[in-house]
Each structure stands twice: as C-alpha cells, then as structure tokens.
Amino acid sequence: MIETEVFKPFGFEGGVNSNTFKEFFVWCAHQSVSDIHIQGGNQLVVGRHGRLLRASEFVLADDNLSKLLDEVFTPEIRANVRGGHPVDRALQLDGDSNNRYGLMRGERLRFRCNFVQATAGRQDTTIALTMRVIPSVIRDLREMGIEKDLFDALLPHSGLGIIGGITGSGKSTLGASIYRYCGDTDPDRKITTTEDPIEYILGRHTDVLPPTQLQIGRDVASYAEGIRAHLRRAPSIIGVGEMRDLETFLAGVLAGQLGHFNLTTLHIHSPGEAIPRCLTMVPAEMRESTARDLLGVLQYIIVQKLLRTTDGKRQAVREYIIFDDALRATLAGMPYTHWGQHIDSIIREERRRIADQAWVLYLAKRIDRSELASAMTTYQLRELEQGSGS
C-alpha cells in the first residue's frame, strides 16, 4: 500500500483574486506539486508525485475563472481559446523584498501553461488550464542516478541525442540537467535552444556566456527555423524541444553532420521506436538515404519513465542504447527497417528494459502491483513472473 502524507488544500485567506491565485501557484511549487489543473465548475486539483489531489475547498465558477485568467495572463489568451484555438504559454513569477506571492527577492518560478476549451462535468464549455511547475533549481546531473556508461556519453562533440518518453516522464528535467552540467564543466561550449515554450531558465550570472533560449511564436516561427538560426551562431550544443516534423528532423540531422551536437526529445516508448518514428516523416523515396544519414549522427537514445514509489514519491527508470562503432557496423549490414527491432532486442537480452527495472523495484517493495503493471505489457509481466518462478 502506498504511504502518503496528509495534503491540505490551500487556504485562500485573502479571497480568490489574481494575487492569491499567484500565491497559490507558488504554494504548489513549494509543496512539490508537478502539475496544476484548473477548470470552471470544479475544485482546483494538483498532481503531486503522480497522484491527483484536491487543492481547494471551493468550486471555481466558470465566470470567476474567466476573470482570473484575464488578470493573471491576458484577455487575448481567453479570446483565442474561446475561438477554438488551444494556447501554450509560459508564466513567470518573480519575488521582491516584500516576499511577493511568497517568493523571496531574486527567487523566480516558471510554469508551462496549456489552455483549451472543453466540456468538463456540468460545464458545456469551459476553459481548462494545465500548468506544469518548472522547478527553480535545475537538478545536478551527477545526482540523478544515471548509469556510468550513459553519463559518459551524454555530451559528445557532435551528432544527435534523443530523450524519449511519454508526457510527464521527466524529459525536460533531464535535458535541462545535461545543459546545466555542460555549462558548469565545459564553459567553452556554447549552448542554444529552441523551445515551445521556454521551460527551465538555463543561464546563471556566473556563466561566461549564458545559453540563449529561443521561444517558438515569440523569437522564431518553428523548430526548424530555430536550428537554421543556431547554425549561423557558432554553437556547440543545439537543443530542440521536440522532433515533431520532417523539416525539424532533417535540420537536426544536418546540424549533427556539420559538427554540432543536437539534443532533442521524442514521444516514444522504447529506444527502438525512435528510428522508425523519425523515418515515417520522410518521403518513401528518401528513407534509405536518410536512414544512413541518421545512423551516422545518432549518439544515443534514452527512454525514461517515472514510477510512483511506496513512500509517496517517484523514481526515474530508463532504458537506453549508445551508438558505438560496433553497433553502427551491425546496423549498417541489415535493412534499416530492422534497426528498431534489433535495438530493442539488445536491451531485452541484456535485461535493461524499463520493465526489468520495475520488476526489481517491485520485488524490493519499492513500487506496488498497479505501478508495476503500468511499466510493462501483460506479456512482459508474464515473462518476468515465469522467469522468477512466481
């Protein structure tokens, strides 16, 4: 059984207004909340260590929500959403000498916000806002339990690295930690990113040259345009928020071929999925040659998942493949359509799948049965149980 500490809703002693709403956001960050879910006609709800919890005693009326959104954000956002256009924005809160919103002077919090119009409960149409809390402090890469061979491979001088996983698997956190570690240990490498929206602020006042972060829709029109802009700015590392279309994919491969290191994310469930996922964006007549180009620049593929542990927290587990000369030679000798299956078979044979790690955590009573089931297919669970004689 999962142990959870008592979670009490936010008090809103000053009533519900734009200031107390911002205080609520800061309070959430201080309570280790990862996501805030707000929609008209419902209580405020937060995600904390993978669990949904009510964070207000009251139900927020739809008209009150509209007023708050106009004051905290801008009326333009509500107009766009009501017109049927989802909106992504970042919200930043800064403290001052008066501890505004509960933040001290120099303290900063950021949130990644998504607005949609939807039917929710008894509300025929309301605005639903989901806010991802971006921690102020970027985690030290050395304290994230990353396997040594993967750690040593994370910052090559050129090529392409892919971080995969489902939404909420910690891809952005891992990426930010990689950038920050590079800035701390190799300050001669210039870092530049394109994001939608900007999440972690990567720069520090001690940096010789702080990373430059471009935001889609504000600084640049698309990821591909961002990569092309970066290439003219003598970068060492080019960060791309997501490899989501052909133009971005081809620009990322080109950046790797030109001697830069490109780090990006994909929504995938295993490392073997990455190559076919990328190549489905490519016209059929180009796939063979593009696959060979991709093989030449790929450095690693990581897939990560966060598992809820029995102490009420979460633990990251990951499976990965590192592209060394031997693996490249093996893959080059087979049809590119077999590459993904071969990669996943290596990880399976070496028992390095997320399923294998979840099984170890389950046997150690670190996760419960339902969380174990969330980390693997029914076939994998049966395979592991038979292998252990359960």
All domains of the chain, ordered by start, with CATH? 18-134 (3.30.450.90), 141-352 (3.40.50.300)
How much is the pTM?
A: 0.86
Strand order in the sheet with 159-164: 212-215, 191-195, 237-240, 261-266, 159-164, 298-308, 314-322
Q: CA angle, 112 as apex, 268 and 185 as ends, to 5°?
A: 75
pLDDT in tens, the chain (390 residues): 444 467 899 999 888 999 999 999 999 999 999 999 999 999 999 999 889 999 999 999 999 999 999 999 999 999 999 999 999 989 999 888 788 898 988 888 999 999 999 998 888 999 999 999 998 889 999 999 999 999 999 999 999 999 999 988 999 999 999 999 999 999 999 999 999 889 899 998 889 999 999 999 889 999 999 999 999 999 999 999 999 899 999 999 999 999 999 999 999 999 999 999 999 999 999 999 999 999 999 999 999 999 999 998 899 999 999 999 999 999 999 999 999 999 999 999 999 999 999 999 999 999 999 999 999 888 888 888 888 765
- Residue 7 CA to residue 9 CA, distance in Å, equals 7
165 to 89, 112, 196, 298: CA distances (angstroms): 22, 18, 17, 17
Distance CA 72, CA 292 (A): 49
Please give the Cα distance from 217 to 222 (Å, whole number). Answer: 8
